[in-house]
Structure 1
Amino acid sequence: MRVQRVRLRNFKCYGDADLSLDRGVTVVHGVNGSGKSTLLEAVFFALYGSKALDDRTLDDVITTGEEECEVELWFAHDGADYRIERRLKLRGDRAATTKCVLEGAGGTIEGARDVRREVATLLRMDADAFVNCAYVRQGEVNKLIHASPGERQDMIDDLLQLGALEDYRERASDARLGVDDVLREVRGEVKNLESQIEQKEAQNLHEQLNDLKSRQRELSGEIDHFEDQREQARSTLEAAETVLERHEETRAEIETLESEIDALREKITETEREREDAKDEIREREARREELADERGELLGAVDAELGDDPDREAVDDRIEALDDRDETLRDDLEDVRVAITEKNGEIERLREEAADLDADAERARSEAADLEAQLDADAETIDDREAKLADLESEIETARSRFDDAPVAFGEAAAHLDSLEAEREALADDLGDVTADIKAATNAIEDGEALLDEGKCPECGQPVDDSPHVDVLDEKREELAALEDRRDELERERDALDERIERAEALREAERRVDRLAENRDSVEQLLAEKRETVAERREKRDQLRDSAEEYEREAETKRERVATLEDEVAETRAELGRINTERAEIRETVETLRRLAEIADERADLAEEIETLRDRRADWKTMNDERRDQLSAKRERKRELESEFDEERVEAAREDKRNAESYIEKVDEKLADLEDRRDDVQGRIGRVEEKIEDLEQLRERLAAVEARREKLASLYEEAETLQATYGDLRTELRQRNVETLERLLNETFELVYRNDSYASIDLDGDYRLTVYQKDGEPLEPEQLSGGERALFNLSLRCAIYRLLAEGVEGTAPMPPLILDEPTVFLDSGHVTQLVSLIESMRKLGVEQIVVVSHDEELVGAADELVSVEKDATSNRSRLERGEPPEAALLSSD
């Protein structure tokens, strides 16, 4: 896996930043607090989201004072390209993820949780594994050494996927215990079923069933006999009921005839009464027609004479139609007048509103002109202030440039001069490092020689002193050591002098930067001054326009008020015409009402004549109807006399006796049958219960066979789970031992490669991941007993060995992420920094595609294939990135 590019917006101390990374060693360089580590945290956050924040929250990610944050990461992995985009936004006092997308070979994945899960699958490590293997964060360089053996074991097991084997072993154990619990339940169920089957077999269920079926057949025979006797009794009962029903029908028909005879008599009487009432109604309607004739004569005298004394209905309708037409014309005229009044009133109201709006516009224009006048006064003061600021900036620029009057370089050459001095200091540091190493080697040789001499041996060859001519070699080594110490002192003096020159050069470089910043500020002030002057001219022009507009608004308002007065006079004249029209329409309505009453009277008199004729026809119909009813009444009286003669009382009495006897016998037989059927039903129920018990017995036997088969399967499954549990445990132990042996070998190779102190012989790593360092004399040491620099270098070697082990373990199927070191030199002196450079070089030679180091150490800067400088603007407190060229004499490229 290789990081290709990272883009930030409002991420912590970065406003906008965009950085591309290549293969090889990239050093992110800058002073403390400039934002170097934040760049790595952004990469970590892009991959794992909130899981990369430790105890912090999303609120801490967004730049102070901003509401949104964006992080984009492009990376290549296993031959495919990927891009992650995360966006955050403040909602109230909390930050929330508004977008999280991973685009790659498998398509697009959305959602913070799904993206984090997919990244962990791609890299085969979650956030914790990432910082335990590939990402050495600032302040955590000694994390693995300070961890307990158990914690160290968990970290490395998780990285190597061995934790999954323990999970599988525990799952197998849980499964075994679960199967054992179920097996106990099944065994108990077998015993319970065997007990139930034994109890049911002891009841002789088949013998009981045979006895009950014999009794059932006997009861069914008795029931059949009594049902035959009951059917004979029912036949006798039906014959008697037929005679009685006929008798009842005859009597009912006689009663019906009597009722119908009475009803006919009543109808005849009622119809004669209705004929008399109709005669009275005829007389009343004739009187009403005379009254209407009198009313018609009076109304004719009140209407137009042109209708005549006896107008017909058509003449009245024509006159009504003529008056309606005139009323329709007047109504249209009235509507036109009302519309004219409404329109003029609307225009009056509109003109008044427009006049009021124009007055308001004039007032607003004058107010805005007054505001612009006040702004022009303030603009004049601003222009004076900016002109003074411009003069001050010119003075500051001249003062800053004057620092180069007596400087060893001209203005604009300070950066090159500083680079030259820093290169010179690097070369001096190399010489000083070599001398220091020689001094240490000479000191060790003298100490070893003195020890041999104390034992009576030659300090050079180890032979007895009496037989050796080289006893004076220690004096030569002491002289050599003294010369080396003098050379070291001389180099340190040169270094101190050079540091002072570098400090002065840095001050000159800062002066150049200050001039650049002042020049930028001057240009900004000049631009603002020009813009302000242009704004003043525009405001003066707008002020004059507003004043002219106010006068125009006032003239238009006065014109509209004059138009309102004219329209009000026209409305008064139109209202008079409205009154005349309403008066004529009222007279027309009164005449029309009189004419319509004349038409109503004519219609009512015609209706009365028709009703009189109808009543006379009804009286004739009613007379005919009563004649027919009298004929029906005679026929029904004759039928009644015939039925009364057919009635036989003795036959009816015999039928009643047969009915009573049959009903009595049937009642007794029903009771006997009910008792027999109850007894048969009871036997049938007992048969059903015995059959159910027999069926239960068969089901119990079948269930027992199934449970016994299940018991055998569970016993086999228990043995398999037990074997699987042991297999996972043995496999984890075997794999851990292999990893321990490989990790121990890689750790010794890495430590021996970068650590050239002959004091240590080897490193031991036991099966529980306990670390022991052995000195040359065989004395064991705990890693915590090493010096701070040695302990830090030892821990970095352990991290790199774990990285190598993980890379070799996946056999190329999951390329490793970049090796990221954040401020690894915190606990290292200059000598150990040189060894750290060797460690980085060795990891690159072993095939690590990308290494990213964050440091402010100058020696690591020289080890870079690519250099990224981070600076923080003191004014805005925002960090910015600048890609630089690594020094030509890079330590990593030397043999």
Structure 2
Amino acid sequence: MRFTRVSLKNFKCYEDADVRLDRGVTVIHGLNGSGKSSLLEACFFALYGASALDKTLDEIVTIGAEEAEIDLWFTHAGNDYHIHRRVRNTGERASTPDCTLETPSGSIDGVTDVEEYVGDLLRMDAEAFVNCAYVRQGEVNKLINASPSTRQDMLDDLLQLGKLEDYRQRAGDARLGVEDVESNVAGKLDQLDEQIEAKEAENPHDKLANLKSELADVTEDIENYEQQRDTARETLEDAESVLESYEEKRAELEDVEETIAEVREAIAETESEREGLAEEVSEHRERADDLEAEAEELVAETGLEEADAEAAAAKREEVAAEREDVTERVSEVAPEVSKLSTEADNAAERAEDLETRAENLREEADDLEADADDLEDEHEEAVERIEELDAEIEAAKAAFEDAPIAFGNAEAHLESLNADLDDLRERREGVRADLQSAEDRVEEAEELLDAGKCPECGQPVEGSPHVEGVEEYRARVADLEAELETVEEDVEDVTARIDRTEDLVEREREVADLERDRERAVERRDDRENAASEARAAAAEKREEADDLEAEAEDAREEAESKREQAEDKREALAELNAEQSALKERIERLDDLADVLDEAASHRESADQLAEKRADLDDRNDERRDRLGDLRERKQTLEAEFDEDRIEAAKEDKQRAEDYLEQVEPELEDLRERRDDLQGKIGAAENAIEELEELRDQRETVAARLDELREIHEEVSELESMYGDLRAELRQQNVAKLERLLNETFELVYQNDSYARIELSGDYELTVYQKDGEPLEPEQLSGGERALFNLSLRCAIYRLLAEGIDGEAPLPPLILDEPTVFLDSGHVSQLVELVEQMRRMGVEQIVVVSHDDELVDAADDVVRVEKDATSNRSRVVRDPEEALAD
């Protein structure tokens, strides 16, 4: 796996950066705090996201920006990949709205899916990446300071031995699960044995035989009692039949006597009703006579010859048709009157409106002529203003007669001078930053020299080749001070020229304003001249229009007078028609009264005839009731002769005896039935107990077989758990031996000192350093530089072990060393260079080193230089001049 390119926008101290990374050894070089490590952190963050951060996600985004973008391109197993992340921080909680991984088979979106894919692809998570390939700044002693168990977990995970432990734990969990199930099944088997023993002790088969024998005896007793009960019921039914017949005849006799009384009462009521009907018939006929007399009087008023309802109806239709004709004529005349009155009023209003409009037009004409006078005055003022502006423009342009530039070029010249000033200020800030850096280095170097240490590597001055560099720093300070003075003079000169040019720009802008005022004055002059002519023409038109409106108003008044005379004639004709209509309405009302009286008289005659007919029907009904009354009297005599008192008494005695027996036998039968039901329930319980006993025996056979199977499975899982544990231990010992060999080879290469004989790595990953005299030392007892070399050796040995173990199937990520020379002197730095070369020779495709040490720069295949702007505090990537020329 190899990084090919990383691009950043607003990531930490980088506003914008784009770096390509090639095969071999790449050194990211720059002063402390310039942002070198941030480039590696960006690559790490692109792969693993928030889990790669030591702090929070919101510190990713550059201060003052809302979003950061990180793009990482890399190759793996011959395929190209590209990760894009966008982090948004708007003041609340930072988030990652965009996270995309482009793979040869398509795109993957979402933080979780991308990070899972990267973990599967590289076969390591963020922690494993750090432990294997990424020696971060400040973590140089991480592995040797870790506890043996922590170191063991780290290396097991890297060497995929953690999977064997996972498998062993899974097998152990399965074994425990089988043990739990086995325990449950064994307990269930014991429970079944107890239940079977309890069931057998109850002897359910003998109990069932005894219960069935007892049930047969009870059933026979029930049948005997039920036979005797049926005989008693037959006797009771015969006695009840005799008594019921007696009761029926007695009830019939009572009904006959009651019916006789009812028939007599109905005959009396009907005779009373007939007398009332006779009176009503007489009243209806008297009312009919009175109404017919009233009709004779109305005949005289209506002009008819006789009181006939049909003649009255015909006459009413004739008068109604006449009234409709008059009403129609009224409906025709009334709208004409209304129309003529409305037309007269409209004509009068129109005349008044026309006169008002004519008056308004004359007033508007007067106003227009007054406006025309004012516009002519404004026209003269505009002519005078144009002459004044022409003089002011000439005066303003006179300022360019002695100027170094022509009129119209001042603003462009000012922009050029401002650009020059910006360049000079930027150059001044750069010189100041370089000067400050150089002064700081001189001050630091002098302090180190005073303390007896080399200013380059921090080691003792004695024998150091870097002491002479202090004079170079002092010369650099002098050169930068002289350069800064020259730049300051150039800034003052350009500033003075800008002040002069700004005055000329102001003159150009003044002329532009005056010319715009002149254009507006010309427009005002021409506008006022045209407006005055238009106003006088409009006034003349309005006076002519006013004359025409006054003539139309006179015609409208004459029309209104004519319409009022016509309306008065129509109003008189309408009054005559209304009087005729009222007379016809009164005749119709008299005819309606006559028709109503005749109808009411006929109705009373009809009611009298109907009541008389009803009275005759009631007389016929009473004759029928008298015949029925005779029949009822004969039936009464027959029923009174049919009663036998002795037979009735005997039936009553039989009924009483039967009821007494039935009352006694039912409780006995109820007891026997309850006993029978109880026996049947006990028999069912005994049969169920036998079935349960058989089921328990079947269940026991099944559970016993299941217990045997579980014991076999437990034995197999236990063997599998032991196998995984033994395999992991065996592979760990193989890796420990190999790692110990690689660690000794690497440490010997970089240390080259006769003080130590060898390094031992135990099976529990405990590290021990042995001196030449055989005395063992803990790694923590080594000096700071020795611990740094020891850690680098251990990291490289782990990397070599992984590379040799994977056999190229999944190439490892780049070997990344962040500031590995912090605790090293110059001699050990050279050995570190040799270590890097050895890692490259053994086939590590890409090694990235972050360092400020020039010796590592000389050994690099590619150098990425990082600088920080002292003014903006932003970092940037600077390429070597030779590299720029090559491109």
TM range (shorter): 0.5 to 0.7
User: Counterpart of 2:140?
Assistant: 141
Instruction: Tell whether the 8 Å contact from 2:87 to 2:96 is kept in structure 1 after alignment.
Output: yes
User: Counterpart of 1:734?
Assistant: 730
Paired amino acid for 1:204: N
Q: Aligned with 1:128: secondary structure?
A: helix
Q: Could you tell me how far 1:3 is from its partner in structure 2? A: 2.6
Which deviations, in whole Å up to 9, do the C-alpha atoms of 1:145-201 show, x marking residues without a partner? 222222222221222232343344444444444544544444344333323322221
Paired amino acid for 1:783: P
Q: Could you tell me how far 1:698 is from its partner in structure 2? A: 2.0
Which deviations, in whole Å up to 9, do the C-alpha atoms of 1:757-777 show, x marking residues without a partner? 455443321212222334555
User: Counterpart of 1:11?
Assistant: 11
Paired amino acid for 1:845: R
Give the direction of change, closer, same or farther, for the CA distance of 1:713–1:30 in structure 2 (3 Å limit). same
Q: Could you tell me how far 1:45 is from its partner in structure 2? A: 1.8
Q: Aligned with 2:670: secondary structure?
A: helix
Paired amino acid for 2:40: L
Q: Aligned with 1:827: secondary structure?
A: coil
Q: Could you tell me how far 1:805 is from its partner in structure 2? A: 1.6
Map 1:685-696 to 2 at 5 A: 685-696=681-692
Map 1:356-375 to 2 at 5 A: none
Q: Aligned with 1:8: secondary structure?
A: strand
Work out the number of aligned pairs and report it. 716
Paired amino acid for 1:822: D
Q: Could you tell me how far 1:740 is from its partner in structure 2? A: 0.3
Q: Could you tell me how far 1:387 is from its partner in structure 2? A: 9.9
- Compute the TM-score of the two structures, normalised by the length of structure 1: 0.64
Instruction: Tell whether the 8 Å contact from 2:119 to 2:125 is kept in structure 1 after alignment.
Output: yes
Q: Aligned with 2:824: secondary structure?
A: coil
Which deviations, in whole Å up to 9, do the C-alpha atoms of 1:581-614 show, x marking residues without a partner? xxx9xx99x9999999999999999899878877
Residue 830 of structure 2 is aligned to residue 834 of structure 1: yes
User: Counterpart of 2:786?
Assistant: 790
Paired amino acid for 1:47: L
Q: Aligned with 1:784: secondary structure?
A: helix
Instruction: Tell whether the 8 Å contact from 2:320 to 2:584 is kept in structure 1 after alignment.
Output: no
Which deviations, in whole Å up to 9, do the C-alpha atoms of 1:222-252 show, x marking residues without a partner? 3334444445555566664574796598579
Residue 767 of structure 2 is aligned to residue 771 of structure 1: yes
User: Counterpart of 1:212?
Assistant: 211
Instruction: Tell whether the 8 Å contact from 1:47 to 1:119 is kept in structure 2 after alignment.
Output: yes
Q: Could you tell me how far 1:310 is from its partner in structure 2? A: 9.5
User: Counterpart of 1:700?
Assistant: 696
Measure the CA separation in 1 of the matches of 2:514 and 2:182.
Answer: 96
Paired amino acid for 1:219: V
Residue 160 of structure 2 is aligned to residue 161 of structure 1: yes
User: Counterpart of 1:810?
Assistant: 806
Instruction: Tell whether the 8 Å contact from 1:173 to 1:722 is kept in structure 2 after alignment.
Output: yes
Instruction: Tell whether the 8 Å contact from 1:10 to 1:66 is kept in structure 2 after alignment.
Output: yes
Q: Could you tell me how far 1:44 is from its partner in structure 2? A: 1.8
Give the direction of change, closer, same or farther, for the CA distance of 1:507–1:844 in structure 2 (3 Å limit). farther
Give the direction of change, closer, same or farther, for the CA distance of 1:139–1:225 in structure 2 (3 Å limit). same
Map 1:399-798 to 2 at 5 A: 631=621, 633=625, 637=629, 640=632, 644=636, 647=639, 648-650=642-644, 653=648, 664-775=660-771, 778-798=774-794
Give the direction of change, closer, same or farther, for the CA distance of 1:398–1:45 in structure 2 (3 Å limit). closer
Q: Aligned with 2:702: secondary structure?
A: helix
Paired amino acid for 1:790: E
Q: Aligned with 1:94: secondary structure?
A: coil
Map 1:265-414 to 2 at 5 A: none
Instruction: Tell whether the 8 Å contact from 2:742 to 2:797 is kept in structure 1 after alignment.
Output: yes
Q: Aligned with 1:144: secondary structure?
A: helix
Residue 75 of structure 2 is aligned to residue 76 of structure 1: yes
Instruction: Tell whether the 8 Å contact from 1:400 to 1:514 is kept in structure 2 after alignment.
Output: no
User: Counterpart of 2:45?
Assistant: 45
Q: Could you tell me how far 1:755 is from its partner in structure 2? A: 4.2
Q: Aligned with 1:66: secondary structure?
A: coil
Which deviations, in whole Å up to 9, do the C-alpha atoms of 1:749-794 show, x marking residues without a partner? 3334444445544332121222233455555443334443332222
Measure the CA separation in 2 of the matches of 1:247 and 1:157.
Answer: 116
User: Counterpart of 2:131?
Assistant: 132
Measure the CA separation in 2 of the matches of 1:328 and 1:251.
Answer: 91
Which deviations, in whole Å up to 9, do the C-alpha atoms of 1:376-431 show, x marking residues without a partner? xxxxxxxx99999986885797799999xxx9xxxxxx9xxx9xxxxxxxxxxxxx
User: Counterpart of 1:151?
Assistant: 150
User: Counterpart of 2:403?
Assistant: none
Residue 862 of structure 2 is aligned to residue 866 of structure 1: yes
Q: Could you tell me how far 1:211 is from its partner in structure 2? A: 1.2
Q: Could you tell me how far 1:497 is from its partner in structure 2? A: 5.3
Measure the CA separation in 2 of the matches of 1:542 and 1:700.
Answer: 117
Give the direction of change, closer, same or farther, for the CA distance of 1:327–1:725 in structure 2 (3 Å limit). farther
Q: Aligned with 2:48: secondary structure?
A: helix
User: Counterpart of 2:541?
Assistant: none
User: Counterpart of 1:425?
Assistant: none
Instruction: Tell whether the 8 Å contact from 1:250 to 1:643 is kept in structure 2 after alignment.
Output: no
Measure the CA separation in 2 of the matches of 1:518 and 1:271.
Answer: 146
Instruction: Tell whether the 8 Å contact from 1:866 to 1:886 is kept in structure 2 after alignment.
Output: no
Q: Could you tell me how far 1:274 is from its partner in structure 2? A: 9.2
Give the direction of change, closer, same or farther, for the CA distance of 1:397–1:40 in structure 2 (3 Å limit). closer
Measure the CA separation in 2 of the matches of 1:604 and 1:881.
Answer: 123
- Compute the TM-score of the two structures, normalised by the length of structure 2: 0.65
Map 1:17-56 to 2 at 5 A: 17-54=17-54, 56=55
Alignment equivalent of 2:817, drawn from 821, 836, 850:
821
Give the direction of change, closer, same or farther, for the CA distance of 1:845–1:502 in structure 2 (3 Å limit). farther
Instruction: Tell whether the 8 Å contact from 1:135 to 1:819 is kept in structure 2 after alignment.
Output: yes
Which deviations, in whole Å up to 9, do the C-alpha atoms of 1:279-320 show, x marking residues without a partner? 989969x99x999x99xx9xxxxxxxxxx9998566777888
Give the direction of change, closer, same or farther, for the CA distance of 1:144–1:263 in structure 2 (3 Å limit). farther
Instruction: Tell whether the 8 Å contact from 1:90 to 1:96 is kept in structure 2 after alignment.
Output: yes
Measure the CA separation in 1 of the matches of 2:510 and 2:597.
Answer: 99
User: Counterpart of 2:96?
Assistant: 97
Paired amino acid for 2:111: A
Give the direction of change, closer, same or farther, for the CA distance of 1:598–1:270 in structure 2 (3 Å limit). farther
Instruction: Tell whether the 8 Å contact from 1:862 to 1:886 is kept in structure 2 after alignment.
Output: no
Measure the CA separation in 1 of the matches of 2:638 and 2:517.
Answer: 130
Q: Could you tell me how far 1:39 is from its partner in structure 2? A: 1.9
Measure the CA separation in 2 of the matches of 1:760 and 1:691.
Answer: 91
Instruction: Tell whether the 8 Å contact from 1:401 to 1:515 is kept in structure 2 after alignment.
Output: no
Instruction: Tell whether the 8 Å contact from 2:421 to 2:491 is kept in structure 1 after alignment.
Output: no
User: Counterpart of 1:564?
Assistant: none
Q: Name stretches of at least 5 consecutive residues in structure 2 with no aligned partner.
A: 302-314, 350-409, 439-455, 529-563, 565-570
User: Counterpart of 1:482?
Assistant: none
Q: Aligned with 1:139: secondary structure?
A: coil
Measure the CA separation in 1 of the matches of 2:591 and 2:725.
Answer: 121
Measure the CA separation in 2 of the matches of 1:224 and 1:502.
Answer: 136
Q: Name stretches of at least 5 consecutive residues in structure 1 with no aligned partner.
A: 298-307, 341-383, 408-413, 419-435, 441-484, 553-579, 889-895
Q: Could you tell me how far 1:216 is from its partner in structure 2? A: 1.9
> Quick one: percent identity of the two aligned structures?
48
Measure the CA separation in 1 of the matches of 2:666 and 2:659.
Answer: 10
Instruction: Tell whether the 8 Å contact from 1:866 to 1:884 is kept in structure 2 after alignment.
Output: no
Give the direction of change, closer, same or farther, for the CA distance of 1:608–1:234 in structure 2 (3 Å limit). farther
Q: Once superposed, what is the RMSD of the aligned Cα atoms?
A: 6.1
Measure the CA separation in 2 of the matches of 1:112 and 1:800.
Answer: 31
Instruction: Tell whether the 8 Å contact from 2:316 to 2:588 is kept in structure 1 after alignment.
Output: no
Which deviations, in whole Å up to 9, do the C-alpha atoms of 1:516-569 show, x marking residues without a partner? 999999999999x99999999799979999x99xx99xxxxxxxxxxxxxxxxx
Measure the CA separation in 1 of the matches of 2:57 and 2:585.
Answer: 91
Q: Which has the larger radius of gyration?
A: 2
